[in-house]
Structure formats: structure tokens, C-alpha cells
Structure 1
Amino acid sequence: MTTENTTGQQDPHAQREAEKYDNPIPSREFILEALEEAQKPLRIYQVAKVLEVSEEDEERYEALSRRLKAMVRDGQLIRNRRGAFGLLKKMDLIKGRVLGHPDGYGFLVPEEGGK
């Protein structure tokens, strides 16, 4: 079993996914590749289209949604304010800590080595 995206690439981990799940979806690695090629954050319906997961196939679409949320939870992806999923390394982000002030404003204290 292989899954291809719209560029014709095959998911190298499709067999592993098929063994683990009754209704396999694209692997995390394949999702990361697809987002790398897109060169911009994608909303879930766009990710599904690129990976050829039909919205009509509710079970697979929901499984893809859960996988994307898990990838955000695990730090593989970030979800922006518009709900689009993107690669952390492609975002212009500064890692740090927010210091809140009692008057309601705050500051970002960058981690060492930050910009």
C-alpha cells in the first residue's frame, strides 16, 4: 500500500501505517514533506487535498485532523491564528518566556541564543 500526494510522491511509511491502523492515513513524515513542499502554512482542508484525503471520507479526514493536532502537541508543527499548520523552522519565531506585568502588559524574554 502506498499513498501519493498531488506531486506524485509516495508515502515511504504507508505500509507501517497500514499495519498499525484499520483505516491508514499519511504518516507524520509524509505530512512534514508535504508541508515542506507547500512552502507556506496550510489549513486542514488544504493538507487533506495535497495528501489526497477526501473530506467525504469522514473517518480518514477526522484521523488526519487528530494526527495534525498530535503533531502540534509533540512540537513537530505549529498552528497559527488562522488555523493553518506549518513547520516550526519556516516560521519567524523567537523562543522565550513572557513576563507579565500587573498592569496587564508583558514582555518576551528570549531564551539564551535567541534573537
Structure 2
Amino acid sequence: MTAKKRDAWRRMDPFLNREQEKYGRPSPSREFILHYLEERGMPLTLGELCAEWGISDSWEVEALSRRLRAMERDGQLIRNRREGYGSVAKMNLVPG
């Protein structure tokens, strides 16, 4: 994998500096993840996100997995039956 592909999410995430200061070794910010999923308009799995953002390091994959689960727990994302994560705003959910 090229360095350009490997650092794709770092160039796109406007909150990278904040995440770096807060955690030392950053993972994609919540805001960036939400914006990206809303832009794509369809749920993406952890593997698909890692492939698109060039994340292959096991530590970074685990950090992203934990971030996605935390966002799901906090109601920012929803995970479908195919393990795809999507923005709650874009999922056309019916309360009830």
C-alpha cells in the first residue's frame, strides 16, 4: 500500500490535530466519520472503511472499531444486519 493511500483519512479529517493532542495516536474523529458516512449515503462495514481510508495497522483498525462501537452506543450511528455502519439521519428509520 502506498503512503498516499495509507494516510488518506489523515488528509481528509479536519479534526486530526485535536485527536492527536487528545490521544497521541489518533483515529478518525467522530465528526469526520459521520460526515463521510452521510456523504457516501450508504452503510459501510469496518473493513470497507479501513480499505477506503488505507487503514491496515492492527492498532488503527482496533481503534476505529472501538470508535464505531462507541458511536453506535451513543446513538450517532446504527449498525445493520450486514455489519454496515450508517448515519442515523440517513437511515430512514421509523420510530416505534
- TM-score, scaled relative to structure 2: 0.84
Separation in 2, partners of 1:10, 1:43: 19
Q: Which runs of 5+ in 1 are unaligned?
A: 97-115
**Runs ≥4 residues deviating over 6 A:** none
The whole-number CA distance in structure 1 between the counterparts of 2:54 and 2:42 is 18
Does 1 or 2 have the higher relative contact order (CA < 8 Å, sep 6+)? 2
Instruction: Name the CA distance, whole Å, in 2 between partners of 1:80 and 1:15.
Output: 31
Q: Name stretches of at least 5 consecutive residues in structure 2 with no aligned partner.
A: 1-6
Q: Percent identity?
A: 51
More divergent stretch after superposition (27-36 vs 65-74)? 27-36
How big is the alpha-carbon RMSD for the aligned residues of Structure 1 and Structure 2? 1.7
CA separation of 1:33 and 1:50: change in aligned 2, threshold 3 A: farther
If the length of structure 1 is used for normalisation, what is the TM-score?
Answer: 0.71
Which structure's CA Rg is the greater one? 1
Structure 1 or 2: more strand by fraction: 1
How much has 1:11 moved relative to structure 2?
0.9
